Amino acid sequence: MRHFLSLADISSAELTALLDAAARLKKDRFAADPNLTGRTLAMIFEKPSLRTRTSFDVGMLQLGGRGIYLSPAEVGLGRRESIADVSRVVSRMVDFVVLRVNAHESLEEFARHATVPVINGLSDLSHPCQGLADIFTIREKMGDLRRVQIAFIGDGNNVAHSLMLAAALSGARLRVATPSGYEPHPKYRELAAAAASASGAAVEVANDPIAAVKGADVVYTDVWTSMGQEQEYERRRRAFNGYQVNAALLAHAKRDAVVMHDLPAHRGEEITDDVLDGPQSVVFDQAENRLHAQKALVAWLAREAVR
Ligand code: CP
Ligand code: NVA
């Protein structure tokens, strides 16, 4: 049985197979999967969600199963009941669990006690379902990932970490530009470097947004203040001055570059309205692709679980 806590949990070949499966499911979106008939996926979320919750819920329905959503108030993960006990109980009733947690360790603790596949629906450290949909979107828009130059501008956060691993596994080139002190976590830099050396990818981290965007095919940004960091809002706004994805910055990318954002966006902070709503933006295709990519993921985990 496999979990999906991080993109470091899968190989380059497995990632390619998932992207191929996602493309097939996107073409034939109401095709049920016999392995998913009558199966249940529980979502236990400690933070709000629009895309992640809706895509798993709708995805399970289309595959022939169902999703159930358990809110923070109901479960009280680690407060009303220990993480280990919630994991043991839920494992007896459902077939997959998606967790959205404040602390990545909660996810690891849950997975240690689970007897069904556990999927990371976002933690403070990573957002691999987003990374999966992102690299699927980039392949869909650009073709051969080994020829693609991606720029990520902003916070070296959970979304950046997963994009780094997705790029590294797929042979793409990625330049990350963050303000000093907001670089990606060293562990994710190491994981990305290891995967990149095997695939021929290049993942670079620096502080100059213009240099990162120069000649890029894809310009990606995410919020400066993630969920749970609200008390740092003012400090972060100051620190990220100069890292906004706006028309002036985008002018340094290739003329046909696409703009990506995992959403929700803080419009007017990390990205301007004209860029987010402009002709180069693919953010709503990217959001839709969460559905197709995660259906491929659940179908794969179901097959891995019965092997
Ligand atoms: N991008 C993303 O994960 O969105 P939600 O927080 O709405 O699920
Ligand atoms: N970095 C953001 C992503 C939201 C999908 C956050 O963690 O809030």
Could you tell me the pTM of the whole model? Answer: 0.98
Cα of 263 vs centre of ligand 1, distance in Å, is 6
| C-alpha span between 44 and 66 (Å, rounded) | 14
pLDDT digits (tens, 9 = 90+) for 144-179: 999 999 999 999 999 999 999 999 999 999 999 999
The yes/no answer on whether domain 130-286 falls in CATH 3.50.50.60 is no
Burial per residue of 183-221, b for 16 or more beta-carbon CB atoms within 10 angstroms, e otherwise: bbbeebbebbbebbeebebbbbbebebeebbeebbbbbb
What is the pLDDT at residue 307? 60
Which of 69, 100, 101, 122 is the pocket-test mutation for ligand 1 (most atoms within 8 Å of CB)? 122
Cα of 198 vs centre of ligand 1, distance in Å, is 30
What is the pLDDT at residue 178? 98
What is the CB < 6 Å shell around ligand 2? 122, 157-159, 222-223, 226-227, 262
Ligand at shortest distance from the CA of 123: 2
Which of 130, 182, 226 is the pocket-test mutation for ligand 2 (most atoms within 8 Å of CB)? 226
Which of 127, 137, 260, 262 is the pocket-test mutation for ligand 1 (most atoms within 8 Å of CB)? 262
Q: In 3D, which of 301, 7, 2 has the Cα closest to residue 136?
A: 7
What is the pLDDT at residue 306? 72
| C-alpha span between 255 and 251 (Å, rounded) | 7
Cα of 223 vs centre of ligand 1, distance in Å, is 12
What is the pLDDT at residue 19? 98
Does the beta carbon of 244 lie inside 6 Å of ligand 1?
A: no
Give me the architecture of the 7-127+289-305 domain, per CATH.
Answer: 3-Layer(aba) Sandwich (3.40)
Q: Give residue 103's identity as a one-letter amino acid code.
A: A
Of all protein residues, whose CA lies closest to atom 6 belonging to ligand 2? 226
The domain locations on the chain are 7-127+289-305, 130-286
Fold matches, 7-127+289-305 and 130-286: yes
Does the beta carbon of 222 lie inside 6 Å of ligand 1?
A: no
pLDDT digits (tens, 9 = 90+) for 79-116: 899 999 999 999 999 999 999 999 999 999 999 999 99
Per run of 10 residues, the mean pLDDT along the chain (length 307 residues) is 95 98 97 97 96 98 97 88 97 98 97 98 98 98 97 98 98 98 98 95 98 98 98 98 98 98 98 98 98 98 85
What is the pLDDT at residue 152? 99
Residue 287 Cα: closest atom of ligand 1: 1
Cα of 227 vs centre of ligand 2, distance in Å, is 6
Ligand at shortest distance from the CA of 289: 1
Cis before 264? omega within 30: yes
Residue 228 Cα: closest atom of ligand 2: 8
| C-alpha span between 26 and 36 (Å, rounded) | 17
What is the pLDDT at residue 1? 84
